Structure 1
């Protein structure tokens, strides 16, 4: 795995390894939805007199699909009294939405999207979240029109780490997987991209920076610290 900053040769567009499309994960890559989720659960835990999970425990325990249900189960176990689960979930959601509304698009992303458009690279999203949720947020932060395809979980489509979403995104963009670059923030996402045959750039956030992202081809601290052109050179 390269860490950003290593020299790479720019490969001509005729090369079979040239990057012909970009596919982004949504949660944690485009918008930091992970921190509001973590912080809103921490607040609920405090309200019920429980010690919140640390960022490290949260990332390790809930790096997969269980983020929706596991925190509630852990809370119910630790409180020792019967809790109104629906009330807890409503409060968590309301608080989480307040926090999420304050989140800006992640640094460097607009520059990357602008550069992709200038290079005429098709751009997609592959997300284990719901289509309604992803599109709503893309519209809210004003970048929906940059994306040529948005692939999300639906009946018959396995969530990450299964490769389904990335394979479908490549089909929708009209590229072979070996011609696409995935941008991910978690081990599950990287595994999905690699299993589908894509090269992968990892750009962790506060929640995922403690996880093992070594299966990515390139790891960067932030998209704002490196250009799309430089990353294409590295992975080519």
Structure 2
């Protein structure tokens, strides 16, 4: 029986990933450095980049200044981002039906909960698993296990909604059903193992979830 939905945040509820990549690209171009967008897209969903994002600037670069420049651009763009199509409707329908809702993210509580408050969605969620809450981030299963336990449900009663390969792996390892909803930044990720893959959350309804994963 389906009792809970657990949402990723970045790239799933809000497209924070495109502004992030574009902010790096803007800084690179401003300083005349070639930007490999594909390399950055491969890192999406992990707790931190598995490579040095400023290595192309050389050993003498002022990394702190570059990072401050990137953060300012990223924040300005992200704060204009709306909820992605279909997400608000799914959250509202699931809440009205009595399902328990949680968020599992590699980002910080301040980042996730701040944006959810900005968008008027924070009150729908009763459990949050974020950066620092568990020993290991996604793709390890710890964050999903934490959230499912906090919701008072079992993994087999819960569906995870994810956009990245790291997130899909984490949810599968935790024993949840998984719906993969790739975005432009994660379309080339390996979503193998997801129980259902759709191009947009607008195609995911509560009746469809119940039909697939138990009602």
**Could you say whether these structures have the same fold, taking a TM-score greater than 0.5 normalized by the shorter chain as the test?**
yes
CA distance in 2, matches of 1:124, 1:230: 19
Could you list the structure 1 runs, at least 4 aligned residues long, displaced by more than 4 angstroms after superposition. none
Are residues 1:31 and 2:11 paired? no
User: Which has the bigger relative contact order, CA under 8 A and spacing at least 6?
Assistant: 1
In 2 relative to 1, CA 68–212 (structure 1 residues): closer, same or farther, beyond 3 Å? closer
Q: Is the 8 A contact 2:134 2:143 kept in 1?
A: no
Larger Rg: 1
Please list the CA deviations of residues 53-104 of structure 1 after superposition, one character each: whole Å capped at 9, or x if unmatched: 23x332225553333963123x324xxx721111100000000111111110
- Structure 2 counterpart of 1:216, from 176, 180, 194: 194
SS of the aligned residue for 1:200 comes to strand
Q: Which runs of 5+ in 1 are unaligned?
A: 1-17
Question: Which residue in 2 is equivalent to 1:76?
Answer: 57
Please list the CA deviations of residues 18-53 of structure 1 after superposition, one character each: whole Å capped at 9, or x if unmatched: 211000011111111100100000000101111212
Q: Is the 8 A contact 1:62 1:70 kept in 2?
A: no
Q: Is the 8 A contact 1:161 1:189 kept in 2?
A: yes
If the length of structure 2 is used for normalisation, what is the TM-score? 0.93
- Structure 1 counterpart of 2:82, from 104, 129, 132: 104
**Root-mean-square deviation over aligned CA pairs:** 1.7
- Structure 2 counterpart of 1:47, from 23, 30, 35: 30
Are residues 1:136 and 2:118 paired? no
- Structure 2 counterpart of 1:184, from 162, 181, 184: 162
In 2 relative to 1, CA 181–63 (structure 1 residues): closer, same or farther, beyond 3 Å? closer
If the length of structure 1 is used for normalisation, what is the TM-score? 0.85
CA distance in 2, matches of 1:63, 1:72: 19
Question: Which residue in 1 is equivalent to 2:206?
Answer: 228
Question: Which residue in 2 is equivalent to 1:66?
Answer: 48
CA distance in 2, matches of 1:63, 1:144: 21
CA distance in 1, matches of 2:113, 2:54: 27
